[in-house]
Structure 1
Amino acid sequence: MATVKVESSNEPLESVDTDAFVGAMRVQAAAVNLVTSNGPGGRTGVTVSAMTSVSAEPPLLLACVNRRSPSVAIIRQNGVFCINALSAEQSELANTFAGRPSSGEPFDFAAADWINITTAAPALVDAVANLDCVIHDIVEAGSHTIFIGRVVGASHRNVKPLVYCDRTYLAPGPLED
Structure 2
Amino acid sequence: MEGTALMTDAAAENTGLGQRLNEALPVSPEAFVSAMRVQATAVNVVTSDGPAGRVGVTVSAMSSVSAEPPLILACVNRRSPCVATIRRNGVFCINALSVEQSHLADTFAGRPSNGVPFDFEAAGWTSLETGAPVLVDAVANLDCTIHEIVEAGSHTIFIGLVLAAQHRNVKPLIYCDRSYGAPGPLGE
TM-score (norm. length: structure 2): 0.91
Equivalent residue letter for 1:135: I
Corresponding position of 2:51: 40
Q: Partner of 1:110 in structure 2?
A: 121
Matched position secondary structure for 1:58: coil
Quote the offset at 1:65 in angstroms: 0.2
Cα distance in 2, alignment partners of residues 85 and 104 from structure 1: 21
Provide TM-score, normalisation by structure 1. Answer: 0.97
CA distance in 2, matches of 1:32, 1:167: 12
How far apart, in 2, do the equivalents of 1:13 and 1:143 lie?
20
Gap runs ≥5 in structure 2: none
AA aligned to 1:77 is R
Distance 2:31 2:66 in 1: 31
Task: Give the distance between the partners of 1:128 and 1:94, measured in 2 at CA.
Answer: 13
1:52-67 aligned at under 5 Å gives the runs 52-67=63-78
User: Based on CA coordinates, which of the two structures has the bigger radius of gyration?
Assistant: 2
The whole-number CA distance in structure 2 between the counterparts of 1:132 and 1:3 is 41
Q: In percent, how many aligned pairs have the same letter?
A: 70
Between the aligned partners of 1:124 and 1:89, the Cα distance in structure 2 is 13
Matching residue of 2:7: 5
Q: Helix, strand or coil for the counterpart of 1:89?
A: helix
1:10 partner letter: Q
- Partners of 1:94 and 1:5 lie apart in 2 by 43
How far off its partner does 1:3 sit? 7.4
Shift of 1:4: 2.3
Structure with the larger helix share: 2
Q: How does 1:128-143 map to 2 (within 5 A)?
A: 128-143=139-154
| 1:167 corresponds to 2:172 | no
Distance 1:10 1:84 in 2: 43
Which range is displaced more, 125-134 or 5-14?
A: 5-14
Give the 5 Å matches for 1:77-156: 77-156=88-167
Q: How many residues align?
A: 176
Residues 53/9 of structure 1: CA separation in 2 closer, same or farther (3 Å cut): closer
Q: Distance in 2 between matches of 1:166 and 1:66?
A: 20
Q: Once superposed, what is the RMSD of the aligned Cα atoms?
A: 1.2
Q: Which moved more, 1:82-91 or 1:11-20?
A: 11-20
Moved beyond 2 Å, runs of 4+: none
